[in-house]
Amino acid sequence: MLVILKPDATAEDLERVLGRIESLGGAAEVHRPRQILLAVRGADINPQTLVAMSGVETVQPSAPGYWLASRRAHPEDTVVRVRGRSVGGDHPPVLIAGPCAVETEDQLMRSAEAALEAGAQMLRGGAYKPRTSPYSFQGLGEEGLAMLARVRERLGVPIVTEMRDAATLELFQQYDMDVIQIGARNMQNYEILRRAGKAGRPVLLKRGPATSVEEWLMAAEYVLLAGNPDVILCERGVLPPASVATRYQLDIAAIPIVRRLSHLPVIADPSHAAGARDLVVPLAQAAIAAGAQGLLVEVHAEPCQALCDGRQALEPGQARALMENLRRHGYVPEPAPAASGLVGARVIDWRPS
């Protein structure tokens, strides 16, 4: 059972509700995200007993496992703002682009410039890379975070990068990474989800390759319950049947389903689903047509030289062609003319005042 208090409920209201629950043999956990939420367990309590109490907004006897992420709790779309860029709601789809991994400062800068020239609003790049093989490139770690921070300072572009384990959160905060990405392998790492919920910055949550939409939304609930309302969901493909020739199968149907069930913005990662650059553009188009509110795309200055996932990274010209195609079909607006180029762009803090 969930007991949701009104936003203006007082401390006295909370104490009275807790006292009533305990007197009826129950127990409650108190959380304070957007509104105080009590998870009641251990007793058969009549909901009407609590509904009538001062400060109580609603009681859900059998709420879904993703109540805070659901449209029942929050009917309006959530818009996540990152240094002046908006993801979700009625805003045009955003492009988050860049290399799979940070390799060198020159590679990162050239790839970032190519992504921004194509129309990207945020830069992706992995400093920590969870890899299937222990012999594959694992990323540069803290050195990669420092490179990302320097590129942001020069180009004024927000950074999206993956947190591989909870122990590195302090480094992400030290280098002020703008969006913490939780990868598909860690979607159900609940300690990382809880820590990210307390990190004070938006979270991009990828769907695991063998998880349902409901499990994905329940993973987001961990972040929301920890107090972070800014979660961006990312569909990146599920395990395909043997007949499918792609790396993963991009679940296009999940996009409108999630938008119906949840108020959180949802974007798509066609690069990891495709596994081959010639398939990225059509999958990206399909995702946007299905209602995706953004794309997470790998772009590399020299994909053939990439240390990680070069086969699926777009070349700079292909990235420009992708955005031109989306503009031609009316999915994204024409870019506003730049007054003074990329370097020295004004950086706007995402955090609300």
The token pair at 195 is 């820590």
* pLDDT over 70, % of the chain: 93
Cα–Cα distance between 221 and 197 in angstroms, integer? Answer: 9
Give dist(CA 341, CA 227) in Å, integer. Answer: 37
Residue 279: half-sphere exposure toward Cβ, Cα within 13 Å: 17
- As a whole number of angstroms, the distance between CA 51 and CA 86 comes to 37
| Per-residue pLDDT at 117 | 95
Residue 352 has pLDDT above 60, yes or no: no
Query: Per-residue pLDDT tens for 44-65?
Result: 888 899 999 999 998 988 777 8
**Average pLDDT rounded to a whole number, residues 18-23:** 91
Render the burial of 225-263: b for 16+ CB within 10 Å, e for the rest: bbebbbbbbbbbbbebeeeeebbbebbbebbebbbebbb
Distance CA 79, CA 106 (A): 33
- Say whether 185 sits in a helix, a strand or coil: helix
Residue 33 in this model has a pLDDT that exceeds 60: no
Tell me the pLDDT tens digit for each residue of 138-178: 889 999 999 999 999 999 999 999 999 998 999 999 999 99
Is the pLDDT at 294 greater than 50? The verdict is yes
For the chain, first and last CA: distance in Å?
Answer: 34
Residue 2 in this model has a pLDDT that exceeds 90 = no
Residue 206 has pLDDT above 80, yes or no: yes
Q: Residue 346 pLDDT more than 50?
A: no
Q: Which residue has the higher pLDDT, 149 or 35?
A: 149
Task: State how far the Cα of 48 lies from the Cα of 64, in Å rounded to an integer.
Answer: 19
Mean pLDDT of 209-234: 95
Mean pLDDT, the chain, whole residue set: 89
* Per-residue confidence (pLDDT) for residue 44, from 0 to 100: 81
C-alpha 216/C-alpha 27 separation (Å) is 27
Domains and CATH numbers, the chain: 2-60 (3.30.70.1140), 80-328 (3.20.20.70)
Considering the entire predicted model, what is its pTM?
0.88
The larger pLDDT score, comparing residue 23 to residue 267, is at 267
Distance in angstroms (rounded) separating the CA atoms of residues 303 and 49: 63
Report the pLDDT value the prediction gives residue 111, as an integer from 0 to 100: 96
Residue among 351, 302, 340, 353 at smallest CA distance from 156: 340
- 227 versus 260: which is more confidently predicted? 260
- Non-local (6+) Cβ contacts of 19 within 8 A are none
Tens-place pLDDT, residues 74-133: 899 999 999 999 999 999 999 999 999 999 999 999 999 999 999 999 999 999 988 778
Residue 349: other Cβ atoms inside 10 A:
12
Distance CA 206, CA 250 (A): 12
Residue with more model confidence, 53 or 335: 53
Average pLDDT over residues 297-313: 92
Q: Read off the pLDDT band of 261 (50, 70, 90).
A: very high
What per-residue confidence (pLDDT) applies to 39? 77
Residue where the block lists tokens 């990669």: 144
Contact 67, 221 (CB under 8 A): yes
Q: Is the pLDDT of residue 267 over 80?
A: yes
pLDDT of residue 30: 85
